[in-house]
Amino acid sequence: MKNRLHKTVTIVSLGLVAACSSGDDLPSSLQTTTTFSTTFYTHSLVIKNNKVYGWGNNALSQVGDGTTSNRATPVEVLVGGSSFSGVTKTAIGGSHSIAYKNTEAAVWTWGSNALGQTGFDPASASTKPSPSQVNVGAVVQDVAAGGNHSLAVAGNKVYAWGDNSSGQLGDTTTVNHFAPTALNSIVGTATAVAAGGSHSLAIVDNGAGVVSVYSWGNNANGQLGVGTTVTSSTPVQVRKSDGTPLTGVTMIAAGGSHSLAVTSDNKLWAWGYNGFGQLGDGTVIDRSRAFEVPLTGFTGTVAEVAAGSAHTVVRLSDNTVWAWGYNFVGQLGNGSTVNGLSPVKVPIGTVQKIESVGGNHIVVRKVDGTYWSWGYNGQGQVGDGSTVNRLTPVQVSGI
């Protein structure tokens, strides 16, 4: 999930987690068990030539072509039979999608609406087969899609809706919301959001030059970055290992149960679940506060960061791509299925943009304009016309 969660692994918290410890470094074996999901975060979206294309799992219309047929190659997302043009950004959730145009005071959503994640009352529509407009009330600046919830920044405020069972909407309750709801408890100017499996992040400028990260929702593995494993239904400020706030933040990303940030001094920070090495520190020890990821071997500074269910992907300033964490089905793209506890270089050449990160697959756009993908492909989400998992990058067909 780019600036979001990308999360085909379902993280199941054990009942004893909260009682175990609230320390910074928590053994993953004591905290979580993981199961591999074949249906969650298993579709892809890209924008090309002012059109939106989707492919992969479409059982709940998350591809957006008006059907429920899986697509192993890209199809155009249409609105009323016409191209869905003018889109600034798309994001994929567990089984829903969201997009925005930077000229509108609304978002566009489609796919599953079982918990109101597309911004409509589930009693009236459990799915949305193609993009539908949802009013937010101010010009939209960013969007993110979580497991079953959605986020937006509009008018420098954070809005949230959908599943709220872990407090991931940040409104002090655990009541689901079927329409965008402003988080008035965040004081400052919000500029970006990221959505994890059931937690949320936002970059906030306090108006005095301090730009930090706020988090809320599920915290079973320390993914909120506050030094505990206590879930919070109100936004809290992410802190570094020494207890001071993480500031100077320029980018954020949220995975299934882990979080990442980049700061203005070109440092990469990570916290949360680390059972597969997705934090990149060479261990499988969870971190409940942000720590600096060792960038040994990197050939440039971090230009983009994204997270899947239990893996992490970055594009560097020299347009190389690196990945680490869970590699059961080739998520790291290095030809193996061995988990990576520290960053490994993906053999793909020069990449211009990380386009779409699902639970266990990645889609990128190379400098030459072609699209490439790798990882889990059980629903056709790699886009090469097959359902064969790809351990190394392959070209997406048809675009």
Over the stretch 292-326, which tens digit does the pLDDT of each residue have? 999 989 999 999 999 999 999 999 999 999 999 99
Confidence of residue 209 (pLDDT cuts 50, 70, 90): confident
CA 346/CA 37 separation, integer angstroms = 24
Q: Which domain holds residue 321?
A: 9-395
What is the Cα Rg of the chain in Å? 19
pLDDT at 20 over 50: no
Flag whether 161 is in a domain.
yes
For the chain, give the percent of residues with pLDDT over 70.
91
pLDDT at 296: 86
Confidence of residue 64 (pLDDT cuts 50, 70, 90): very high
User: Considering only CA atoms, which of 392, 388, 380, 387 is closest in space to residue 73?
Assistant: 380
Over the stretch 159-199, which tens digit does the pLDDT of each residue have? 999 999 999 999 999 999 999 999 999 999 999 999 999 99
pLDDT at 278 over 70: yes
For the chain, give the percent of residues with pLDDT over 90.
88
**Higher-confidence residue: 335 or 7?**
335
Report the number of distinct structural domains present in the chain: 1
Residues 6+ apart with CB under 8 A from 53: 45, 46, 47, 74, 75, 76, 77, 399
Flag whether 139 is in a domain.
yes
**Higher-confidence residue: 349 or 17?**
349
pTM > 0.85: yes or no:
yes
pLDDT at 77: 98
279 and 255 Cβ atoms separated by less than 8 Å:
no
CA 99/CA 108 separation, integer angstroms = 5
Flag whether 3 is in a domain.
no
Flag whether 141 is in a domain.
yes
Mean pLDDT of the chain: 91
17 and 29 Cβ atoms separated by less than 8 Å:
no
pLDDT at 21 over 80: no
Residues in the chain, overall count: 399
CA 88/CA 50 separation, integer angstroms = 9
Flag whether 1 is in a domain.
no
pLDDT at 12: 26
pLDDT at 132 over 90: yes
pLDDT at 1: 63
Flag whether 2 is in a domain.
no
Question: What integer is the mean pLDDT of 4-18?
Answer: 28
CATH code where residue 282 lies: 2.130.10.30
Confidence of residue 288 (pLDDT cuts 50, 70, 90): very high
